[in-house]
Amino acid sequence: MKIGKLTFKELDVEGRASISTDLSDEDARGIYAYEFSDGTWYVGKSVDVRDRHVQHMHEYRHMDPPLHATKMLWASVTGDGQELDYAESGTIAWFETKGYDLRNKAKTGRPGGSLEVMVDTGNGWGVSIPWDRDRIPASTREFTFEEQPKMLEKFKKLQSIPEYDSLIATLAWYVHNTIPAPADTAGSLWVVTAMPSTYGRLCCITCQNVETFVVFEDGAFDKKGPWAFVNLKPAEDMLVPDWGKGDLGNYENLRNCIRFTFDSLDEVDYMLASERMLDCCYRVNSELMRKGASMMKRYNNPYLVDAILNYNLPEREEVQADEHVLRISKKILDPLKTPEFVPFEPDVAPGVFWDIIDSGCLEKEPTMADRIVQTAGREALGQFAPDFAHFNDDVLFGENWNNQDIDLKTRCIITVVALMAQGITDNSLKYHLENAKVHGVSQKEMAAVITHVAFYAGWPKAWAVFNLAKEVYRE
């Protein structure tokens, strides 16, 4: 089987715990794809697939129910680690565009495939996240939190703006209609900030590490406000609103999305009254939440979460006939006409990986579709030590982390090693472990890194890091 420059051969793996006799040392590095008895697939990479196969078979046997691999496709890949990473990403993209049902969670637009995925919130319980918004689970728990004076101060500042009543209503409608089990997943799978230090923002809802709904203050980027943008993707019918205000966006963790810009909260209200629009918003949130916890958990404002969850929402029928919506329609949107929904035409090569396999271009250089953005310096020290905050957010993260001479996965591993060597096992290390997980460092790889460094940095340090890593990689 030929895919671009990669030639895959088929290996019979049904009932086989080892394939050590099938491949030589020279051929054991590359890309593999398992087909399972339920028709799903999984694509991965390995520097020695013989060892990786043994691990996979052990994992699959102990799943509930057990997973049975019936076939394996294998292609050897030469070159460095980056070349191997490109090949994996390109293969995943090819399988996905050809309609294969992939179990992969990373580097795919359908994490977990068509299955309904149970995602660990990190709080001792999991939440089922379906693709179909009609099956969106309701909350089963009460949202609770400890007092946080700094967050309360930010929330009160947000409350003081003249548009707060309209804003909280819009946020509540968006969250309750596009976030699975919002009380159960708040602060872990989705977070919301209030008056963040990032320029011009009033509030921001983030799933995984992508902002999905952002509201800006009046005057931000020379626009009258408050104004907002929402990221969306086509739902199952592959239709998206054609309103003339959407731009194709490609985050590293969210390919082929559309960023819709709204000139006012009135426009947001109008659009979110559309079931199809809510489906498109839910498609983005469910994709990101199926990948796991948000990296922005420490910025979550629990007071704003509480206000959103406890807002008294109108019934759907009331919204459809709401005078406010009808007034907005007449006042603002009638001249533009009600948006039609048209077939989505994705960019066939939106970023680094999507066209690698079909074009046979494994030498392609990566492009950062989105940048690493950090605001922790200004959040904590913006007033007390503004120069330090600037160096932290704009130089260390803004410039250094976005330098593409080293890929992000390698940079994440280096950072974890540096912190471990110094014995730093506080929240900064946990953040970088989470960052490493998001950027493709597997649990096996992280365990190997920590074990290796333990011999040089010290055994007690490894124990401390493993305790944090177990939290981050908890299944």
Please choose, from the candidates 233, 228, 258, the residue with its C-alpha nearest in 3D space to the C-alpha of residue 246: 258
Q: What is the pLDDT of residues 358-393, one digit of tens each?
A: 333 333 333 333 456 677 777 678 778 888 888 887
Helix, strand, or coil here: 247?
strand
Contacts of 19 (CB under 8 A, 6+ apart): 11, 13, 49, 50, 53, 72
Angle between helical axes of 459-472 and 427-438 (0-180°, round to 10): 60
Cα–Cα distance between 207 and 173 in angstroms, integer? 17
Six token digits for residue 399: 């410039």
Helix (H) or strand (E) run with residue 232 in it: strand 227-232
Closest among 37, 24, 100 to 357, alpha carbons compared: 100
pLDDT at 332: 42
pTM of full prediction above 0.75: no
pLDDT of 188 reads 94
pLDDT for position 367? 37
Query: What is the C-alpha separation between 112 and 98, in angstroms, rounded?
Result: 16
Mind giving me the DSSP string for 456-474?
HH-HHHHHHHHHHHHHHT-
CATH number of 376-472: 1.20.1290.10
Classify strands 30-36 and 41-46 as parallel, antiparallel or unpaired.
Answer: antiparallel
Of 295, 298, 302, nearest to 472 (Cα)? 295
Query: 32-61 pLDDT, tens per residue?
Result: 999 999 999 999 999 899 999 999 999 999
Cα 88 to Cα 31, 49, 107, 117, distances in angstroms: 6, 13, 9, 23
Question: Residue 53 is encoded by which pair of tokens?
Answer: 């196969």
Give the pLDDT score at 360: 38
Residue 345 has what pLDDT? Answer: 56
- Strands of 1-159 (E only): list them: 2-3, 6-7, 9-11, 30-36, 41-46, 69-76, 117-120, 126-129
The C-alpha atoms of residue 20 and residue 54 are separated, in whole angstroms, by: 9
Joined tokens for residue 446: 């992280």
Handedness of CA 103, 370, 396, 407 (dihedral sign): positive
CA proximity to 173, closest of 395, 19, 322:
322
Contacts 24+ apart (CB under 8 A), 455-461: 456/421, 457/420, 457/421, 457/423, 458/423, 461/420, 461/421, 461/423, 461/425
Question: According to the model, what pLDDT value does residue 53 have?
Answer: 93
Distance CA 3, CA 28 (A): 18
Q: What is the mean pLDDT of each run of 10 residues along the chain (475 residues)?
A: 81 90 88 92 92 92 89 87 80 82 82 82 90 92 94 96 93 95 95 86 92 91 88 78 67 80 87 86 93 88 96 65 45 47 49 35 37 69 82 82 83 94 90 86 92 94 92 76
Give the integer Cα–Cα distance in Å for 360 and 357.
Answer: 5
Q: In the prediction, which pLDDT does 333 show?
A: 43
**How far is the C-alpha of 438 from the C-alpha of 292, rounded, in Å?**
9
For 44, residues 6+ apart whose C-beta sits below 8 A from its C-beta are 31, 32, 33, 52, 88, 104
Residue 319 neighbours by CB distance under 10 Å: 16
DSSP string, 250-309: EETTEEEEEEEEESSHHHHHHHHT-HHHHHHHHHHHHHHHTT-S-TTGGG--HHHHHHHH
Task: Identify the three-state secondary structure at position 130.
Answer: coil
pLDDT at position 180, please?
A: 95
pLDDT tens per residue across span 197-250: 777 899 999 998 889 999 999 888 888 879 999 998 887 766 777 665 667 766
Rounded to a whole number of angstroms, the distance between the first and last alpha carbons of the chain is 34
Domain extents in the chain: 2-97, 149-343, 376-472
